[in-house]
Each structure stands twice: as structure tokens, then as C-alpha cells.
Structure 1
Amino acid sequence: MRAVLPWPWEAWPSEARLLIGLVGVWCVLGLLVLASASWWVAEREMGDGAFYLKRQLIWMVASWGLLLLGVRIPLRRWLHLAPLALLVGCMLVAATLVVGSTVNGASRWLVLGPLQLQPSELVKPFVVLQGAALFAHWRRIGLDQKLLWLGVFGVLILMILKQPNLSTAALTGLLLWLMALAAGVGLPLLLGAATAGGMLGAASILLNTYQRLRVVSFLNPWRDAQGDGYQLVQSLLAIGSGGLFGEGFGLSTQKLQYLPIQSTDFIFAVFAEEFGYVGSLVLLLFLLLFGFMGLRVALSCRSNQQRLVAMGCTTLLVGQSILNIAVASGAMPTTGLPLPMISYGGNSLMASLLICGLLIRCALESGGLAPISRASRRRRPASAR
């Protein structure tokens, strides 16, 4: 373990230790819930009940490699890499509009041999990093720099919206808006951005029939329980069937034949049916604890950039989780946001764990562990390595 960590474990601040422990628990929980949610479908469609679990395990190993990379590399290097990575991400998102693979009416995927890339997921960590770099120096940079990067963010959101992927576009816009608010950007600009974002979202719903139907079915899913409201109705039935303590691990019945996309967007419904109200409450308390630790890290950061990176990472992970749970429980219209570290999918897993690595890196640097240069690494005694 010492070979992959930048400092001895004993030197880590308590926030960093607790965060990596929470991420480990989150990942183990995700594998268990995914195993239960996907087993029956995998056995029926693939002839191997562990098909999705095995693939998720492979992605999990690769994603933890990214987390450790995020922990090892100084934050300033990540911030220097962010502009180029964000531009490459924009080009990949643009490529989905031209040569992307269309699934359920949305072109969100690039197929490269055996790999399927979802650029709108992979670009999220670099949106956080570049957003922090922009808003942390908002009062000191020129108008040309502000317009350049606001334009890049705007084009990225429009391209994601064009796929169409309203949920990810809205999450990206909301993330940047909250980071700008935390950085102290002027209120008129924030109000203007919020108004423009609301009008853009409303226009997307009016122009895309399937989005409009989702909003209508969300208001009264029982009106068309066998049609547009089917997903939400089955999700609500699963959650309601869990009762107080749940049916028990692996004993969900809605996942067998009724609940659609139970391994991704609606995996929380399977969790709620098997672990009940108490289990769901524990999960929400877990997210609250993770958010609290992320906020502690942000408040202890020594620079505005570090602080905004920590706040952006925490907002993205906890906010996306809350939105996914809200969709599954009928508090929001149905969207395509995965539940971080729990939903099946390698792209979401890699992005989420890299974000966790960046947050832990912020905790390390805010705890007084300065970035290690090559010269200082050579000067350290062998016992400290």
C-alpha cells in the first residue's frame, strides 16, 4: 500500500482517511446491490447470472487505479491538465452527435471496438477542475478569458442537450452555477445564468416529445400505468413493497420481470425493496456523512482553487445521488442519471472514483501534506518511503 500512496498512511489527516474508507464502503455496497439487481436478468439474457457483476468488477479495479492516480498527482497538475482534457471531452461529445451509437433515441455513446465510451460522463471531473480554475480567479482574469471558458461550458451543455441528455446537461449547468455562487461571482450574472438555464431546459422539454411525456407521466404516472408511466409506477411499487425493513437481500420481486433498467437508473428501487425504509434512511445518512466530510475538507482548504474543487466534487457525487433517488421515488421526472458507484456502467464508475480521488487529494493538501517534488522525494530517508 505504501508504494501507491504519496505519504505514509499514518501521516494522512483524519478527513482523508475517513473519505477513502467511505468510498470503499460505497463501492462494496454498490457491488452487492448490483449483484442482486442484475442476477436474474443476466441469467436470462446472458446465460450467466454474474455477467454484469464480473464486468463491473473489472471496471472497479481500473477505476480504483484512477482514484489512486488522483490521490498521488498534485492538484496543481490536475488543474494544468484540465483545459486540454475539457476541450478533448468537448470534441468527443461532439463526435457522439455525428458517429455516436443511438440507444433508446439518444446518441450518447462512442463505440471503439469492445469499448463503449460515454464522453458526457468522462468529462465531469474536468468540468469541476476547470470550473474551479475559472471561478477562483474570476476577479483577476480578463474578459476574454471569462468569455472563452463560459463559451466552452455553454457549448458543452448545448451538445449534451442535443444528444439529447437533459439530466446530465442540467446537472452540469447546476454544478457550475453552484461553484460560481461559492466563489462569490456577482449576483446579476448568477440570476441571468439561472434564467437562461431554466428557459433552455423548458425549450428542450417542449421540443422533445419523449421529455415532455416524461414530465406529464411524472405528474400522474397512474394515469398511463402501462405506457409512459410504467417505469415510475413499477419503481414506486418496488419501494412501497419494501415496507419498514425490506424483503431481504436478493429477494426483490420487482426486479424479476417488472421493473425496467433495474441495474442502472432505477437500481435504488431494488435497494429500497430489499432493505426497506430503514435501509433507505441509512443510505441517505451515509450520503449526508459523505457530504459533511466533503464540506469539512472544502472549509479547511488553503486556496480558493482547492476549496472549489472540493466543493465541486462533493456537490457532484452527493447531488447526483440525491437526484437519482428523487427520480426513483417519484419526486422528480424520470431522467437518465446513474447512482454513483452503485449503478452498472464503467464510464460513470471511472468518473466517480476519479472525482473521489481529487477530493481525497484536496483533503491531503489541506491537511498540511504539501505536494512532493522529485528532488524532495530523493532526499527523503528510505524508512519514510
Structure 2
Amino acid sequence: MRPRGRQDSNTGTTTSKRPWLPVPFEQWPAEARLLLGMIALWSLIGLAILGSASWWVAAREMGDATYYLKRQAIWMLASWGLLYAGVSINLRRWLRLAGPALLVGTVLVALTLVIGSTVNGASRWLVIGPIQIQPTELIKPFLVLQGAALFSHWGRISSDQKVIWLGVFAVTLGLILKQPNLSTASLCGILLWLTALASGLPLWAMLGTAGAGLAVAIGSISINEYQRIRVTSFLDPWKDAQGDGYQLVQSLLAIGSGGLWGEGFGLSTQKLQYLPIQSTDFIFAVFAEEFGYVGSLLLLVFLLLFGFVGLRVALSCRSNQQRLVAIGCTTLLVGQSILNIAVASGAMPTTGLPLPMISYGGNSLLSSLLTAGLLLRCSLEGAGLEPGKPRRNRRLQARQETMPIG
């Protein structure tokens, strides 16, 4: 059998013949290998589901049934490049970058309120030529990183730093809420809250923060009529099935039409002209109609397994910072997926959260796959692997350490 690399007899290290890998793949821990395979599967299934959900609208509106699929494939390639960067770059560098990146992202969120493109009453996009930038999606991984950087050293940093960064978080969430985008603001707030809880902050402070966040959410719903309508229509969507409850009613009809085994791939009828936003916020309804109860259950099991492996990575991390980053990345990918499914199935009020790596949108893809890359990076560093510093042969190292000197 041809060897995969060359081993140094003096140090016991292995030089990979695949320099494009930051760490030789054969040295990756089992959790990292499994995660990479699951991310690749998630991405490929996402493209297939999007192709099925979008072809009819693309053919009618764009004159090309594969219009959205081809654009998503291009974004997918760019996003996998970002995943590679997440795996390749040392986590300490990402943590140093998180603060400035979050500040830039907050400025971009503020710009959406001034010069942003408004769609359905919400200003969430900045248009630069042919590209639409959604800052609220792009800042999510940096919010995880900065939250981990802050809360992991909470007991050792000055009060001024605490106040400054808590203020930055509050301003960022407030600007997102102003767009208005209650769903993303809530998700980001929950991410920071769970990161702080995992770091061991006092329970009384966590309960107080949760109460304050709930009060802000209730206040936002009371002030913004469209949010209030969404909550009331969620409680009884059939009351106004042709009006405010139309989206949820059509989503429930699609899910119910799938039955046990589904209508079959590509055979959804609700996506043709009934289900709105079928390629983004309500793409799960198309999936459920085509793959049925069994397919939906398998998707939930997949998310459960991904979350389990992500938490295994967190437990294997050597530092508190790494652990909090792994918890945040896992929570972002799995939690946002669960929230999207809950909305489509009527378990939560209608919100604008995409299904990671499945819903159409380049910004969401970039954010999700960078988050996945950071999670893989945590796994590699937890196993003691660094680019350019391959893991030593442990048996040879132990033998050398026990050899007598002289």
C-alpha cells in the first residue's frame, strides 16, 4: 500500500502529500470527520431541495427553471472557501478579528436603516451593484466569537471593557430590532445568553437578562403592528385564512399533504402557486410535502445528531474560549434550523429566519458555512492539531521521553 505521507524518524511527525489541507485528514479526530461529512451532506441536500422548491417560480419569473439553483451553487462554492478559511486559520486569530468585524457589521446594520433596500416593510439589505448584502446574517458568527471572547474571561477583565462590549451587543440587537427584524434579534440575543450561561455567569444575572429580553420583545410586538398581527394570526391562522394567516395555512396544508412517505421529490403542488416564500422561509414545508413524515423525522434526527457531535466537540476542547465557540456555533446552526421548522409547522409565530444551508440566499450560506468551519476548527484544536504542527506519533514520543539521557 502506498503511504499517505512521509514520516520523520526523529520527530515522529507526518508530512501530508496534500498541502491544500490545513491538517492531514487522516489525523483529524472522529468528530471532525463526521462533522465534515454531515456538512457536505447538508449542503448537497440543501441544493437538491432548493432546486425542487424554486424551479416553478424561477421558470415563471426569470424564464429559467434553474436560475436560483445556479446562483445558489455559485454562493455555495464561495461559502465552502470560507469554511476552508475557518478551518485553516488559528482560532485565536478569529477571536482577535471578531471585535472589529462585529463593529463593522453593526455600522452596516445601521446603514440599512438609512440607505437600505426595503422589502415588505423591512430594511435589511444593502445593495452594491448586483450583490445584496444582509449584515444581520453576516455578523452572526462574529457575534458568537466575540461573545466567547468576552464571557470566557469575564472574571479577569475590567469593568470598562464589560460595559463597552455589553453596550455594543445592546446597540447591535437594538439596530436589528429597528429594521424591524425581531426574529434575528431574538436569535442573536439567545446566542449571547446561552454563551454567557455556559461560561458560568451567576444565575441571578442570567434570569434578570432573560426577563429584560422578554420585556423588550413584548414591547416590540406591542409597538409594531405587523409583528402583533403575526402573533395573533399564529394563534388562529384559520380565522383569516385568505389574509394574515395565509402563509401559515398554506404551509400547514403542504406539510399535511405529505402524509407518511410524501408526494415524492419534485412533486409538491403547494409550491406551484399557493405557498409563498417557498424557497426561503417556508422551504421546509416543501420538503415535508415531498418527503412526508418519515423524511421530516429523519431531518430532525440529523439535526439532533449534528447537535450531539457539536457538543462532543465542545467537551473535548482544551480552553474555555474554544468550548464557548463550539457551543455557540452548534447552537446557531441547529437552533436556527429548529426555529425555522417550528415556524413552518405552526409551533411559533411567522418569522424571517432562513433554514441554514437549505434556504436560498448567499448571505445565509456564507454565515452558516463559516460557522461550520469554526466548529471544525474547535474540533481540530481540541485534539491538539495545528496547521504546520502535525500531531506527533504518541508511541514514539513516549518512548523518546522515557529514554535515559546520555
Is the TM-score greater than 0.5?
yes
Deviations 1:231-264 (A, max 9, x none): 0000000000000000000000000010000000
User: Deviations along 1:288-318, whole A, 9 cap, x unmatched?
Assistant: 0100000000000000000000000000000
2:115 match: 99
Among 351, 369, 375, which residue is 2:385 paired with? 369
1:131 equivalent among 131, 135, 147:
147
2:247 equivalent among 226, 231, 234:
231
SS of 1:200 mapped into structure 2:
helix
Instruction: Give 1:214-363 correspondences, 5 Å limit.
Output: 214-363=230-379
Q: How does 1:133-148 map to 2 (within 5 A)?
A: 133-148=149-164
User: Aligned residue for 1:205?
Assistant: 221
> Tell me, what secondary structure is at the counterpart of 2:154?
coil
Q: Distance in 1 between matches of 2:388 and 2:90?
A: 8
Q: Secondary structure at the match of 1:111?
A: strand
Find 1:59's aligned residue among 63, 75, 92: 75
- 2 CA distance for matches of 1:3 and 1:44? 46
Q: Which runs of 5+ in 2 are unaligned?
A: 1-16, 390-406
Q: CA deviation at 1:372?
A: 3.7
Residue 393 of structure 2 corresponds to: none
- Secondary structure of 1:218 counterpart: helix
Q: Report the alpha carbon displacement of residue 83 of structure 1 after superposing the two structures with TM.
A: 0.6
Take 1:26 and 1:277, find their aligned partners in 2: how far apart are those partners?
A: 19
CA RMSD, aligned part only? 1.2
Query: C-alpha distance in 1, partners of 2:78/2:21?
Result: 16
Residue-by-residue CA offset, 1:62-95 (whole Å, 9 max, x unaligned): 0000000000001000001111001000000010
Could you say which residue in structure 2 is the equivalent of 1:173? 189
TM-fit CA distance, 1:371? 5.0
Q: Tell me how far apart the structure 1 counterparts of residues 284 and 362 of structure 2 sit (CA, whole Å).
A: 18
Per-residue CA deviations over 1:82-131 (Å, capped at 9, x if unaligned) read 11001000000010011100011000000001110000000001000000
Matching of residues 81-92 of structure 1 within 5 Å: 81-92=97-108
Q: Which runs of 4+ in 1 moved over 3 A?
A: 370-373
Q: Conserved in 1, the CA contact under 8 Å of 2:23 and 2:386?
A: no
Which residue in the other structure is 1:78 paired with? 94
Q: Which residue of 2 aligns with 1:37?
A: 53
Aligned: 1:164 with 2:194: no
Tell me the distance in 2 between the aligned counterparts of 1:10 and 1:16.
11
CA distance in 2, matches of 1:2, 1:322: 37
Which TM-score applies when normalising by structure 2?
0.91
Tell me the SS of whatever aligns to 2:276.
coil
Name the CA distance, whole Å, in 2 between partners of 1:188 and 1:280: 38
C-alpha distance in 2 between matches for 1:19 and 1:151: 35
Counterpart of 1:342 in structure 2: which amino acid? I
Shift of 1:6: 1.0
Larger Cα-atom Rg: 2
Return 168-177 or 7-16, whichever deviates more. 7-16
Other-structure match for 1:190:
206
Count of residue pairs the alignment pairs up: 375
> Given residue 369 of structure 1, which amino acid in structure 2 is its aligned partner?
L
* Counterpart selection for 1:69 from 80, 85, 106: 85
AA of the residue aligned to 2:95: L
Contact 2:258–2:288 (Cα < 8 Å) also in 1:
yes
Out of 8, 15, 19, the position equivalent to 2:35 is 19
Q: Which one is further off, 91-100 or 185-194? A: 185-194
- Please list the CA deviations of residues 164-196 of structure 1 after superposition, one character each: whole Å capped at 9, or x if unmatched: 000000000001000100000111211111111
State the identity as a percent: 75
Measured against aligned partners, the alpha-carbon deviations of 1:341-368 in whole angstroms (never above 9, x if no partner) come to 0000000000000000000000001012
Separation in 1 of the partners of 2:89 and 2:250?
45
CA drift at 1:3: 3.1
In structure 1, distance between residues paired with 2:152 and 2:357: 29
Contact 1:63 1:350 in 2 (8 A): yes
Q: Please, which runs of 5 or more residues in structure 1 have no aligned partner?
A: 374-385
